[in-house]
Structure 1
Amino acid sequence: MTPAGPVALVAGATGPIGRAVVRALASDGARVVALSRSGDQVRGCVQALACDLGDRTALDDAVSTVESTWGPVEVLVNAAHPPPELGTAVADLSARVLADQLAGVAAHAALCARIVPGMRLLGRGRVVYVAGASMARPLPGGGGYAAAKAAGAVLTRHLALEEGPAGITANVVAPGRVVDPASPREPSAHAAALGQELAQRITLPTFPSPDDVACAVCLLVASPALTGQTIWVTGGEPIAA
């Protein structure tokens, strides 16, 4: 890692988890660039950039800007995903809704394709994909979202296998239900029902927060020996995976 701190790119940086990851990595000394569709500033970042991850040209331009300004990206955290459309049974999923969810997998692959070659040249790198516990714990109405997150996680585990010899680690953080104390909001009827069900499954008294998820991300970024792993941030909900 460079003396000034590694350059970290956080995609999906304006969501609750993305913001927490930016703050945590910055506290650990990283120079964090926040990437999002809106380009809004995030506390702790050295730069905020707007980018549609589905646009390969825009993605290439954004990463090129990071590289020319700060240097090669050593840490990639992908917390971006299209908004989930929950509450629709698998048999009722439209092709459009499923394609929208799977676009998140394509975006993750595009991020890796653009950034990992630079990590190879450095001889080091960290990739962390933020998935979701739903990929291993089916719940009604979440099939499209869960399938996309599962695909992104599998892609990341393959990346770990392929890039390990280059000193690059790739891991997955899979949150369960996450509650942000700083931004309370009224859940939809579907989310509220799932929340009540999940509350009976966790062993801790409260659901994890975005900061709890960020702690797991920072652990994986800090460790040179953890790769191909999935950390379940679920508040103690048993996960069979």
Structure 2
Amino acid sequence: MTAGGPVALVAGATGPIGRAVVRALAADGARVAALSRSGDRVDGCVQALACDLGDPAALDAALSAVEAGSGPVEILVNAAHPPAGFGTPVAELDPGVLAAQLAGAAAHAALCARVVPGMRRLGRGRVVYVAGASMARPLPGAGGYAAAKAAGAALTRQLALEEGTAGITANVVAPGRVLDPESASEPSASAAALGQELARRLALPTFPSPDDVAAAVRLLVASPALTGQTLWVTGGEPITA
């Protein structure tokens, strides 16, 4: 580990899962840089940067700022999400909307391309991609989002195979529905109906929280022996893929 704790970069840091991951990694001693479109600060981060992951120049500038301020990135957690676009069947999906969703997978590849060379030089690294249960469990109207998350997960598993000899692990965390206790907004009628349907599939009494997802991320960051794995944080909802 680098002096003062490893440098961690969390993309999508202002979302519920991203915030929980920042807090968890900071509690473990990492120096966390929080990356988001807004650049808002997140509790526990040492740097907060605004960045559109789809803009190569902006991404390079943000990573350069992290490296100048803290050092090379040893831990990358990508909790950023493409535009949801739920509710549209695949046969009616607008090509532009689908392209915007799939751009999330391209952004993940760009993040990895930017940080992995530094991890190779360090001789160690951790990459964790936050996907979603929808990549394996179809939901009506979630085809584009599911495809984007499945693509990001596939890239991560490929990275695990290619970079293991450099001491780099790469894993996927796939949450199902997550309940955010910090959110005061009421779900829409359709979201509430979906929640009731998913709740019937659970083995546990309630859905996971963002902190539960962050706990899975912490496990993967801490372990040098887990790579190429997918951890399903679903509250026991069966996933067959």
- TM-score scaled by structure 2? 0.98
> 1:53-103 deviations in whole A, cap 9, x for unaligned?
000011001101111111100000000012301111110100011011001
2:177 counterpart of 1:162? no
Give the superposition deviation at 1:189: 2.9
Give the superposition deviation at 1:153: 0.2
Give the superposition deviation at 1:182: 1.8
Residue in 2 aligned with 1:65? Answer: 65
Secondary structure of residue in 2 paired with 1:77: strand
Aligned-partner residue type, residue 88 of structure 1: T
**Contact 2:82 2:148 (8 Å CA) reproduced:** no
**Contact 1:86 1:190 (8 Å CA) reproduced:** no
**Contact 1:87 1:190 (8 Å CA) reproduced:** no
> 1:134-160 deviations in whole A, cap 9, x for unaligned?
001011111110011001000000000
Give the superposition deviation at 1:188: 2.5
Residue in 2 aligned with 1:98? Answer: 98
Question: Please, what is the CA RMSD of the aligned residues?
Answer: 0.7
Secondary structure of residue in 1 paired with 2:98: helix
2:183 counterpart of 1:186? no
State the distance in 2 between where 1:24 and 1:15 align.
14
Residue in 2 aligned with 1:151? Answer: 151
Aligned-partner residue type, residue 33 of structure 2: V
State the distance in 1 between where 2:125 and 2:184 align.
35
- TM-score scaled by structure 1? 0.98
Residue in 2 aligned with 1:171? Answer: 171
Q: Percent identity?
A: 82
Aligned-partner residue type, residue 238 of structure 1: P
- Point out 4+ residue stretches in structure 1 off by more than 6 angstroms: none
Give the superposition deviation at 1:32: 0.2
Secondary structure of residue in 1 paired with 2:232: strand
